[in-house]
Amino acid sequence: MAPSRKNTIPAATVPRLSQYLRKLQEIQSRGTTTISSRQLADEVGTNPAQIRKDLSYFGEFGIRGVGYDVDRLIEELKKCLGLNRSWNVIIVGSGKLGTALALYRGFQKQGFNLIGMFDADSAVVGTDRGAGPVLSINKLEKFLNEHEVHIAVVTTPSSVAQEVIDRLVAAGVPSILNFAPIRAHKDKSVILRQVDLSTELMTLSFYLDK
């Protein structure tokens, strides 16, 4: 899909597509071959109109009165989300969060290949935290020059996160997922997504405190 086409799709639609895909893969594992928008809506906790609207941005995948072929819809959603190919990923920061992400095998099932992990702590360099031997952060640019990296995940302390992001951007990494609790800055040509766990927990706290 051309970038200009993607720019016309509401940002809120994309995470919903990933929810639909995960649920459809679960439904597929049960042996179900056809599903209606209402059935899928019940499964993911939304409404049929929302599902039909989200899918309409990409084409017509269902048959009126019949529903969606589960196998085909899964493949179409993978194409929409760019999951019909593989993406090389690195993690910068091998602390508890970085290690937990490296050990999660669900990424590879969706086409995200973890090919490297970096840290500044000499005590952990060379140890295996789930992605093979941890490499020194000093070797980051050399590694990026020798390997095609599509996504960098930053799980460093906040004090060095911006420096790391600047280095990744300068080396040409096209997209970055930042877990450090900072308002990171980046070049306009780079896709930067911020995951702030503290803010999410505070949001839950707000709704829990009745």
Q: Answer yes or no: is 208 within a domain.
A: no
Q: Is residue 76 domain-shared with residue 91, that is, in the same domain?
A: no
Q: Is residue 97 domain-shared with residue 194, that is, in the same domain?
A: yes
Domain tally for the chain? 2
Domain end: 80, 101, 121, which one?
Answer: 80
Domain end: 80, 106, 139, which one?
Answer: 80
pTM of the model: 0.76
Q: Is residue 179 domain-shared with residue 107, that is, in the same domain?
A: yes
Q: Is residue 97 domain-shared with residue 189, that is, in the same domain?
A: yes
Q: Is residue 117 domain-shared with residue 54, that is, in the same domain?
A: no
Cα–Cα distance for residue pair 55/69, rounded to 1 Å: 14
Q: Answer yes or no: is 138 within a domain.
A: yes
Q: Answer yes or no: is 206 within a domain.
A: no
Q: Is residue 57 domain-shared with residue 132, that is, in the same domain?
A: no
What was the pLDDT predicted at 21? 92
Long-range contacts, stretch 83-88, CB < 8 angstroms, 24+ apart? 83/21, 83/110, 83/111, 84/111, 85/111, 86/111, 86/112, 86/113, 87/111, 87/112, 87/113, 87/150, 87/151, 88/113, 88/115, 88/147, 88/148, 88/149, 88/150, 88/151
Phi-psi category of 123—alpha, beta or left, where left has phi over 0 and alpha has psi -120 to 50?
Answer: alpha
Q: Answer yes or no: is 131 within a domain.
A: yes
Q: Is residue 128 domain-shared with residue 76, that is, in the same domain?
A: no
CATH number of the domain residue 119 falls in: 3.40.50.720
Q: Is residue 136 domain-shared with residue 188, that is, in the same domain?
A: yes
pLDDT digit of tens for each residue in the chain (210 aa)?
Answer: 444 456 677 878 888 998 999 999 999 999 999 999 999 999 999 999 999 999 888 877 777 767 889 999 999 898 888 888 889 999 999 999 999 999 988 888 788 999 999 999 999 999 998 888 999 999 999 999 999 999 999 999 999 999 999 999 999 999 999 998 777 776 668 888 888 877 777 777 777 766
Q: Answer yes or no: is 210 within a domain.
A: no
Q: Answer yes or no: is 159 within a domain.
A: yes
Task: Provide the domain limits for residue 63.
Answer: 3-80
Cα–Cα distance for residue pair 175/50, rounded to 1 Å: 28
Q: Answer yes or no: is 209 within a domain.
A: no
Domain end: 80, 105, 121, which one?
Answer: 80
Q: Is residue 94 domain-shared with residue 168, that is, in the same domain?
A: yes
